[in-house]
Amino acid sequence: MRLLIVLPGALGDVIRALPLLGRLRRGASSATLGWAVEPPSAPVLAGHPWLDRLHVFERPRGVRGVAPFLRELRAAGYDVALDLGRGLKSGVIARFSGAPLRVGFHRENGREGSWLFANRHLPPQGPARPKLAQFLAFGDVLGLPPAEIEFGLGPSDTEAREAAALTAGLPEPLVAACLGSSCSSRRWFPSDTAAVLRELRVRHGAGAVLLGTVADAPFAARVQAETDGTVRDLVGRTTLRQLLAILAHARLAFGPDSGALHLAAALGTPVVSLWGATSPARSTPFGCDALVVSGSAPCAPCFLATCPIGRLCMRAISVETVVARSTAGFDVTEPARDAR
């Protein structure tokens, strides 16, 4: 049996699909398991102990990359394609993978006609059902036994040494402030972020790193301007694997809805997640429900990419509440750091 997971996109979704990969590996131990993904999330899957083949769609090549990518999938001879992406792109990839059985989301949960490319569908998933549970439902359709929720992630020895070098000299425990998000409506604010880090330094002696992409550099500069030398700006200065290793080392991570928070939770690091434009009902980082902070506004959650009214919901999140949740996060029993 050869099974292909089709989930090209966002890091947070890829992380939340890893427990399905583990369930497939345990329930079909002799199967060949592949994954179709795009470059941004590929480093998390490269060398994963449960995965046999990784197919990377080089999206920057545009239409020139489509034909060779689909030829590669067809040559692999997959029997089953699981379309976890629920959009047109993943539906097309699943359809033209050559797999005779293509399992996808029900029409109620799909987008862009993705259900038309599948020949077997999941039952409708409730709008508040966590994405991780929705992905695991593919195992139910295949008749696989339940399995413990694991992610199989951890830094290599080299990556752990790189993380140690990047954070050398900072006080412990270490806090990871994840600044960015894919949508501007989800972001918190530099002054508030700095205030949290100052207070955690006073209360717990914590040092901190600022994490994000190059686009978050102005935000990070403003945070650093309002903190002391115990906060290090690593925004845009880490690879995804180095980010993984830093999050594995951190005692706590906090920030708005983002893939980095899901990665931290998958590594066993307590996560304080900040919510406004999006809802924690489907997307709270695994195991961190008690550390959620939601900002209230009449329009929240709106799920808009940009906010026309100044992110009232995120402004409603107080520094005091985030500090209190972070203190609770420090009190969480030290988790196992490597699920492999």
Cβ–Cβ under 8 Å, residues 246 and 166: yes
Kind of pairing, strands 231-233 and 292-294?
Answer: unpaired
What pLDDT is attached to residue 60?
64
Q: Which two tokens stand for residue 286?
A: 């695994």
What pLDDT is attached to residue 115?
84
Query: What are 40-73's pLDDT values in tens digits?
Result: 999 999 999 999 999 999 876 666 778 899 999 9
Q: Which two tokens stand for residue 288?
A: 């961190």
What pLDDT is attached to residue 340?
31
Burial 160-196 (b: 16+ CB within 10 A, else e): bebbeebbeebeebbbbbbbbbebebbbbbbebbbbb
Burial of residue 307, with CB atoms counted within 10 A of its CB: 0-12 exposed, 13-18 middle, 19 or more buried:
buried
Residue with tokens 């989301």: 105
Give CA–CA dist 322/317, Å, rounded: 8
- Which strands form 292-294's sheet, in the order they lie side by side? 231-233, 207-211, 174-178, 252-256, 271-275, 292-294
* Domain edges within the chain: 2-141, 157-330
Number of neighbours of residue 325 by Cβ within 10 angstroms: 22
- Residue 151 phi/psi, 5-degree rounding, is -120, -20
Which residues of the chain register pLDDT less than 70?
A: 60-63, 333-340
Query: What are 148-194's pLDDT values in tens digits?
Result: 999 999 999 999 999 999 999 999 999 999 998 888 999 999 999 99
DSSP secondary structure string for all residues of 276-332: SSS-HHHHPPTT-GGGEEE---TT-S---SS-TT--HHHHTS-HHHHHHHHHHHHTS
Q: For domain 2-141, give the CATH superfamily.
A: Glycogen Phosphorylase B; (3.40.50.2000)
What pLDDT is attached to residue 271?
97
User: Could you confirm whether domain 157-330 is CATH 3.30.450.20?
Assistant: no
Helix 240-249 vs helix 157-166: crossing angle, to nearest 10: 80
What pLDDT is attached to residue 336?
40
What pLDDT is attached to residue 307?
92
Give CA–CA dist 271/265, Å, rounded: 6
Q: Do domains 2-141 and 157-330 have the same CATH topology?
A: yes
Alpha helices in the chain (DSSP H): 11-27, 42-45, 66-76, 88-95, 131-141, 157-166, 190-204, 217-225, 240-249, 259-266, 280-283, 312-315, 319-330
